Amino acid sequence: MIMPPENTPQGFLAVPAENRASKPDPMRKPNLNSSPADGLPGLERERAWVTIDLNALAYNVESLQRWVGPRVELMAVVKADAYGHGAIATAKTVLAAGATRLAVATLEEGIELRQADIDAPILVLGLLQNLVQMQIAVDYDLELTLCTLDQVERLAGAATGSDRPLKVHLNIDTGMSRLGVPWQEARSLVQGVYAQPTLELASIYSHFATADESDSLWANRQHQRFEQAIAQIKSLLKSLDRPLPPLHMGNSAAILNNRIFHYDWVRPGLALYGLCPAEFLSDRLPLKPVLSVHARVAQIRTIHPGEGVSYGHRFVAQRPTQVATVSIGYADGIPRRLSGQLSVIFNDQLIPQIGTITMDQLLLDVTDAPDLRVGNMVTLLGTGQYSENLAISAQDWADTLGTISWEILSGFRHRLPRVILPAT
């Protein structure tokens, strides 16, 4: 038995020196993507956590590659911390499974991957306007999105003095009306790029606004506009004796919707993580969810008829009710708007959540789950312990809330440790 030192306050247990965390280095920059439980072995599953199944992720990459065929490359979209799955582990897994390049939204996301020794091509999908940011991107060998003519000179200036040209990817706006050069003006931007020896046109792309809708009118219109822009660019490149760079337009929905949208590369996002972007596409390709969410029961109490629970007493017991407190809440990414509409899984049984979801806890009616004990794990997203037929998905939550599964996945906060199940 370990005895505490004499000066240990009464009621406190001393931690052996070899198990103590080292003092933080005041000069070390904090890792904003880490969880408080990171670096504390054994504590990752003590409260609540997210499990990431890298075998499922690799399966999805391989399935998508078979779907598009060997001549089409996968640019895996790992922005927003890989949709909440952890950018570094996700990036390494998708590249090992067959993806050839990555896409992020911000400069900082690209730098994070480079600092993790990932050397695959990385496209920053967001628009950089600041010269200093552009120069940093050059230093980290990141590839940048080009949307406007006035960007060309700044990008060329940022690459001046570099031992390699800066690779830029022309984003053509065909109907998303978000980023990109209008499709009628794309030819002039290409001409501007080839006038700058420090720039290299690495690809030309566009983005669908409605590929996840069964009505293909606008998707087809965007595709036609892209084709018209490319025809004009081909004419220019022929006069310059330059080859046409790779083309890409297909997000997850477009990949599954129509093979004519595939081109040279595709940009899967949601499908990588095992979710289908639209119900009408759900039978096209079997996918495996990569992320599951779990938490432990902290306390169980009995309340009497007429007693309420949580803020606002939105649930009032109609019978003697066993109430379990679970250590996860809206600060972890469980939407408060799901209050009273959520269920969790315990031993292949659905258990209803009751009352208002709070910042750090939620409550369950476990009256009909007599086997549940303090310390037991419940599953908020994922499958049953013994049967995969019982499952709760991010899409289920999204349907309840009238939103999209992308928002659900990217909402899980970094204080939830990521427990990684490695690919085998």
Question: Annotated catalytic sites, by residue?
Answer: 79, 311
- For residues 86 and 60, is the Cβ–Cβ distance under 8 A? no
Q: For residue 2, give Cα distances in angstroms to 6, 8, 16, 41, 147.
A: 12, 13, 8, 20, 65
Calpha distance 212→404 (Å, rounded): 11
Q: What tokens appear for 304 in the block?
A: 């009497």
174: which DSSP letter?
S
The DSSP string of 211-273 is TTSS--HHHHHHHHHHHHHHHHHHHHHHHHT-PPPPEEEE-HHHHHH-GGG--SEE--SGGGG
- Per residue, the 3-state secondary structure of 69-87, as one string, reads CCCCEEEEECHHHHHHCCH
- Tell the residue number behind the tokens 């477009």, with chain if given: 254
CA atoms within 13 A on the CB side of 256: 28
Strands 391-392 and 377-383: antiparallel
Please work out, in degrees rounded to the nearest 5, the angle formed at the alpha carbon of residue 237 by the alpha carbons of 235 and 241.
120
Calpha distance 158→137 (Å, rounded): 9
